[in-house]
Structure formats: C-alpha cells, structure tokens
Amino acid sequence: MAGQISISSIQKMKNLSADIQNLLREAVEARLSSYSPYSNFKVGAAVLSEDGVIFKGCNVENASYPIGMCAEKTAFGAAICAGKRKFKAVAIIADQEKVFTPPCGGCRQFMSEFNEIDLYISKPDLTNVLVTSLKDILPLQFEVNADYSF
C-alpha cells in the first residue's frame, strides 16, 4: 500500500520460527565459505524460496574490487539457476559483532526484481535478529513503468 510505513524490529533468535532459525544457521555456514582475502570481511546469505528450498551464497572478492560478488547475489544466483523466481525470506550474516549488516544498495535493488521479501539480519552469535522487509529498507525502488504518484 503506497505511503504505508512498517517498523523493523529486533527479535530473539529463539522466538523465530524453526524455518527462519534454520535459514539463519545456513547463512552462518555460507559465511564460512567466503572468499575475502582483501577485506577479510566475510558475509553469508541464505535465500528461502517460496517452495521451502534454501540456497546459500557468500561474498566472493576479486583484486579488481568492483567485480566482486555480494553474498546475497550469489545466493540468489544459485536459486535462479535452479529455476526459482519467488522467494519468502533472506537471512544475512556478516563479521560485525556490534552492528547488524544490511544488504548494500545494489543487492537491495537486485532482490526487488523478484517479489516482496522478508529479511532476517543477524550478528554472528545469532542471539538477536533484525527482522525487516525489502520494502522497508528500499522504499521507492526502481521499477520500469513505476507510478510513484501519491
């Protein structure tokens, strides 16, 4: 609904559904595969497709920084290769202990291509989870022929 604003919240991991807890653990596991020799900043993502299948991705750096790949895009790439086009949720875990690490702007726009998605962002210890949605962190995303009249 145009103009509606939702509020993100911080939830205890133990209070989330078993499916989302599993999704978060898969993102942690994906982070361990990160190829990040330049920044040493490991990020993992896990994408839950509409039919319940989880796809994982990690960041992959390159000496030519702009051509590296974010964890979210590698997870979505795996899902898309498997024929998936509709997604329920994404979990993101990065190496920051004190703050939540949301997706970069490019990943936000990339994810908006598919459908409205719930986001679960946690620190590595998985104690607290920032629960939000793509709509909340990317208002007015770019869309071909979008009508932004209010």
The distance from CA 12 to its chain's CA centroid, rounded to whole angstroms, is 18
Phi, psi at 79, each rounded to 5°: -65, -45
115 annotated among ligand-binding-site residues: no
Whether 143 is catalytic: no
Query: Residue 131: CB partners within 8 Å, gap ≥ 6?
Result: 8, 9, 10, 11, 16, 118, 119, 120
Q: What is the per-residue pLDDT for 149?
A: 66
26 annotated among ligand-binding-site residues: no
| The pLDDT of residue 146 is above 90 | no
Q: Give the pLDDT confidence of 109-125 residue by residue, as tens digits.
A: 999 998 889 999 999 99
Q: What is the per-residue pLDDT for 38?
A: 96
Query: Residue 121: CB partners within 8 Å, gap ≥ 6?
Result: 91, 92, 93, 100, 101, 102, 129, 130, 132
Q: What is the per-residue pLDDT for 7?
A: 62
Q: What is the per-residue pLDDT for 2?
A: 40
Q: Give the pLDDT confidence of 62-94 residue by residue, as tens digits.
A: 999 889 999 999 999 999 999 999 999 999 999
Q: Which amino acid is at 104?
A: C
40 annotated among ligand-binding-site residues: no
| The pLDDT of residue 148 is above 80 | no
**For the domain 17-137, what is the CATH code?**
3.40.140.10
Instruction: Tell me the DSSP string of 6-61.
Output: ---EEEEGGGS-HHHHHHHHHHHHHHTT-B-TTT---EEEEEEETTS-EEEEE-B-
50 annotated among ligand-binding-site residues: no
Phi, psi at 63, each rounded to 5°: -60, -30
- Interhelix angle 18-31/71-81, rounded to 10 degrees, is 110
Q: Which of 72, 97, 113, 143 is catalytic?
A: 72
Nearest Cα neighbor of 97 from 128, 134, 72 is 128
Q: Give the pLDDT confidence of 8-64 residue by residue, as tens digits.
A: 899 999 999 999 999 999 999 999 999 999 999 999 999 999 999 999 999 999 999
Hey, what are 19's tokens?
């499916």
